[in-house]
A and B are shown apart, each in its own frame.
Chain A
């Protein structure tokens, strides 16, 4: 429908509405643009796009946990980002080269004695942290790593054979330059250490379990031996008596019955047997002593337990107070039930009844003067 077909009033109203719609769209576009601008600004701040930055690199053993874009921390602040992670040549001593840039003003903290710490997180990630330099006082050649002249950065070149004192680079640092190298100290990998520890424990545990099994078996065997020793001791009692009797006969002086009856070889065997029996008896005695010692220890432990219980009861006056309160409350409850008209019959009569006079009828007669019967008047 063409706009000219409308009435003038309606046409005026539609024009006004279109104007407001245009305003709304404009405001929406402005809001979106502002939001996009704010996001771009915060991203630039976060990523240091609008900051001056200088390159550094370090050498590490492994690139595990390191990614391009990860932050580089200095004194707890985000001071830069990792820009590149590359493996070195196979013949190099270090395995990986990590390049990173440090934003202003943080590169002012980095001196020639600064270093890099590679910290491992619990979840497997790694954080690159640079340390503040200039305060180690370990060398006279301390210097800042970069200096700015005319908007350009010049890198400090460490002392070498050709340049024993070190110097600032003659050319300003280019954007593709490797930058100043900081020595990296790789901290202990917590997860690796934990894994190593767990693996060592796992390796050692079977041995430990085997050891405990051996101890248990040893104890079981000892118990069995003691039981057997007890049985042996019991069985040996008559044997020992017989041996004692025999030995009494055999220990006679030369010419005794033993020497006459028993040949010399048999006599020697008997002596050996008696010696063996004596050893067995001594072993049994030792076992019995050990057994009695164990029993004594058990009794002492039992005494300790009862002693502790007594001490607890004595020390815990609150417990005794609670028991006393419980008894009193129970007495109140029973007294209350005794007063209940429905239940008082269950408790029987009062015990302290008043005494009654005893009166019994007499048993008369001339031949019998005794009193018989023992009933109280009113008692039945």
Chain B
């Protein structure tokens, strides 16, 4: 039997549900072409997240073309940016730079422009460090001018990280360490990004020949990366551990760590990194056989 209270609640629920039906207007239907390209963009994002950069580059290229046909410039710029990222991850720097510049030509301002500029900075950092330094200088001026640290702390943190990477590549480990610490001071960073910045700090320690400190940092990174199941960072940390063990003369530990790093890079289809570790292992084996 229904009690009076229950009937009251039921009536209230009916009123809310029926009233709610009229409270929100129906969404405007999207054209079929837009739905199609959005679906394709979802596919491209999925393959990018899975690390299938070859498929991601092709798919983002198709997405950019379709958005161009629909004259949706902002979405086209995003697709071009992601296509550039995919090419960059395949070490196709020329293609990545060209496509990233196309995206930057569309985005004249705003966060998307900053993303394009930081991507170009990363590409130039691999391709031409001097050109990257020039771009970094202008970007830092622009960031200060636009108060990027306040308006978009995430983008500012990445920009500072890139500054530290360039400094590290230039052999200025202490200056780079300052930059990386500034990044870590930003408390709202993603956990994975924190591990990346800490990896840069470990590299700074290695460059400063503080192998014990670097080894400890790499081991901490390895432990946290395992918890986060970040395979690329696990492989990078194993490489760092092996490198530090090698510098410390612990050849057996170094061999084990480097062997595991090489295996992980192989599973991730990161051939450049795999070759680099393989060269390290060859050096190590020569030392062992002496």
Residues of A within 8 A of B (CB): 335-336, 339-344, 351-378, 380
Give the shortest distance, in Å, between B59 (CB) and chain A (any CB).
11
Residues of A within 8 A of B276 (CB): 367-369
CA distance A94 to B200 in the complex (A): 135
8 Å CB contact of B78 from A335, A351, A354, A380: A354
List B207-244 residues whose CB lies under 8 Å from chain A.
Answer: 207, 230, 232-233, 236, 239-240, 243
Contact: B200 with A369, CB < 8 Å? Answer: no
27 contacts between A and B (CB under 8 A): A339-B24, A340-B23, A341-B23, A342-B16, A352-B42, A353-B38, A354-B75, A355-B44, A356-B45, A357-B116, A358-B81, A360-B85, A361-B157, A362-B122, A363-B165, A364-B164, A364-B165, A364-B169, A365-B165, A365-B168, A365-B169, A368-B273, A369-B272, A369-B276, A374-B192, A374-B230, A378-B154
Interface string of B162-175 (1 = CB under 8 A from A): 10111011010000
Contact: A344 with B24, CB < 8 Å? Answer: yes
CA distance A355 to B39 in the complex (A): 10
CA distance A358 to B59 in the complex (A): 14
CA distance A343 to B112 in the complex (A): 34
Q: Can you list the 3 inter-chain pairs with the closest CB atoms, starting with the nearest?
A: A364-B165, A365-B203, A352-B38
8 Å CB contact of A357 from B35, B51, B115, B122: B115
Taking the complex as formed, is B161 at the interface, i.e. its CB lies under 8 A from any CB of chain A?
A: yes
Contact: B30 with A352, CB < 8 Å? Answer: yes
With CB as the reference atom, state the residue of chain A lying closest to B27.
A339
Taking the complex as formed, is B71 at the interface, i.e. its CB lies under 8 A from any CB of chain A?
A: no
Give the shortest distance, in Å, between A13 (CB) and chain B (any CB).
74
Residues of A within 8 A of B190 (CB): 375, 380
Residues of A within 8 A of B195 (CB): 373
With CB as the reference atom, state the residue of chain A lying closest to B39.
A352
- Contact A364-B176, Cβ < 8 Å, known A339-B26, A355-B45, A371-B89: yes
- Contact A364-B200, Cβ < 8 Å, known A359-B115, A359-B119: yes
With CB as the reference atom, state the residue of chain A lying closest to B80.
A357
Give the shortest distance, in Å, between B102 (CB) and chain A (any CB).
13
CA distance A363 to B211 in the complex (A): 18
Contact: B154 with A374, CB < 8 Å? Answer: no
Contact: A371 with B161, CB < 8 Å? Answer: no
Interface residues of A, dominant DSSP: loop
CA distance A4 to B16 in the complex (A): 97
With CB as the reference atom, state the residue of chain B lying closest to A335.
B26
CA distance A374 to B53 in the complex (A): 11
CA distance A51 to B4 in the complex (A): 86
Interface residues of B, dominant DSSP: helix
Contact: B158 with A359, CB < 8 Å? Answer: yes
Residues of B within 8 A of A352 (CB): 30, 35, 38-39, 42
Extra A-B contacts (20), CB below 8 Å, given A367-B203, A374-B49: A335-B26, A341-B20, A341-B23, A341-B24, A343-B20, A355-B41, A355-B78, A355-B82, A359-B115, A361-B157, A362-B122, A364-B203, A366-B168, A369-B272, A369-B276, A371-B122, A375-B193, A376-B49, A377-B154, A377-B158
Give the shortest distance, in Å, between A191 (CB) and chain B (any CB).
60
CA distance A377 to B125 in the complex (A): 20
Contact: A340 with B236, CB < 8 Å? Answer: no
Residues of B within 8 A of A (CB): 16-17, 20-21, 23-27, 30, 35, 38-39, 41-42, 44-45, 48-49, 51, 63, 75, 78-79, 81-82, 85, 88-89, 112, 115-116, 118-119, 122, 125-126, 154-155, 157-158, 161-162, 164-166, 168-169, 171, 176, 190, 192-193, 195-197, 199-200, 203, 206-207, 230, 232-233, 236, 239-240, 243, 270, 272-273, 276
- Interface contacts (Cβ under 8 Å), in number, total 149
Residues of B within 8 A of A358 (CB): 48, 81-82, 85
- Contact A373-B81, Cβ < 8 Å, known A358-B48, A363-B165: no
8 Å CB contact of B239 from A341, A351, A361, A368: A368
Residues of B within 8 A of A335 (CB): 26
- Contact A364-B166, Cβ < 8 Å, known A340-B21, A370-B272, A373-B230: yes
Residues of A within 8 A of B206 (CB): 365, 367
Give the shortest distance, in Å, between A346 (CB) and chain B (any CB).
12
Give the shortest distance, in Å, between A332 (CB) and chain B (any CB).
11
Residues of A within 8 A of B82 (CB): 355, 357-358
8 Å CB contact of A372 from B79, B164, B236: B236
Query: Which of A335, A344, A358, A370 has its CB near the most chain B CB atoms (within 10 A)?
Result: A358
Give the shortest distance, in Å, between B15 (CB) and chain A (any CB).
11
With CB as the reference atom, state the residue of chain A lying closest to B236.
A372
Residues of B within 8 A of A368 (CB): 203, 236, 239-240, 273, 276
Contact: A342 with B20, CB < 8 Å? Answer: yes
Contact: A355 with B75, CB < 8 Å? Answer: yes
Residues of B within 8 A of A343 (CB): 17, 20
Contact: A361 with B158, CB < 8 Å? Answer: yes
CA distance A378 to B188 in the complex (A): 11
Contact: B192 with A373, CB < 8 Å? Answer: yes
- Contact A339-B21, Cβ < 8 Å, known A364-B164, A369-B126, A377-B115: yes
Give the shortest distance, in Å, between B228 (CB) and chain A (any CB).
10
8 Å CB contact of A362 from B23, B63, B116, B125: B125
Residues of B within 8 A of A353 (CB): 38, 42
Residues of B within 8 A of A378 (CB): 154
With CB as the reference atom, state the residue of chain B lying closest to A339.
B24
Contact: B270 with A370, CB < 8 Å? Answer: yes
Residues of A within 8 A of B118 (CB): 359
CA distance A354 to B155 in the complex (A): 20
8 Å CB contact of B168 from A342, A364, A376: A364
CA distance A343 to B168 in the complex (A): 53
CA distance A361 to B158 in the complex (A): 6
Contact: A363 with B39, CB < 8 Å? Answer: no
With CB as the reference atom, state the residue of chain B lying closest to A367.
B243
Give the shortest distance, in Å, between A132 (CB) and chain B (any CB).
79
